């Protein structure tokens, strides 16, 4: 009986580890700091939140207090941000994610 319980526990642990690996562990969610690219982004933080929501916020010297909200999707290593643009039209910005680094066009963000 004890061997059966140990084998069951080992299977549960193995399945849990496999599920965490498949989900990316901590996932893509979190706060990202500006690394390089468009200078207007240098004082901003990009936050990818649970539930597929993002916030780009901070204080910019020319624009003042910035807070842009929208949604994001992840497909493989492609991350797409969607937000309302000028005139109410939806805009999207595709990028890539690799090893804690997000790159959108030439703007690079690093997970904190």
Ordered domains of the chain (ranges, CATH):
27-111 (2.40.128.280)
Give residue-wise pLDDT tens across range 22-55.
444 458 999 999 999 998 899 999 999 999 999 9
* Residues 43, 58 contacting (CB under 8 angstroms): yes
Name the average pLDDT for the chain: 81
- Evaluate if residue 8 carries a pLDDT over 70: no
Averaged pLDDT, 5-12 = 35
Between CA 62 and CA 75 the distance in angstroms is 34
The per-residue pLDDT for 88 is 84
* Residues 40, 58 contacting (CB under 8 angstroms): no
């Amino acid at each position: 009986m004890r061997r059966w319980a140990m084998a069951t526990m080992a299977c549960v642990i193995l399945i849990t580890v496999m599920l965490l690996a498949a989900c990316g562990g901590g996932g893509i969610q979190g706060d990202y700091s500006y690394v390089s690219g468009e200078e207007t982004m240098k004082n901003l933080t990009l936050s990818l939140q649970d539930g597929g929501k993002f916030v780009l916020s901070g204080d910019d010297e020319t624009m003042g207090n910035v807070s842009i909200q929208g949604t994001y999707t992840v497909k493989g290593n492609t991350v797409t941000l969607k937000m309302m643009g000028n005139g109410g039209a939806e805009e999207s910005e595709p990028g890539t994610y690799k090893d804690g680094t997000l790159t959108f066009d030439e703007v690079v963000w690093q997970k904190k």
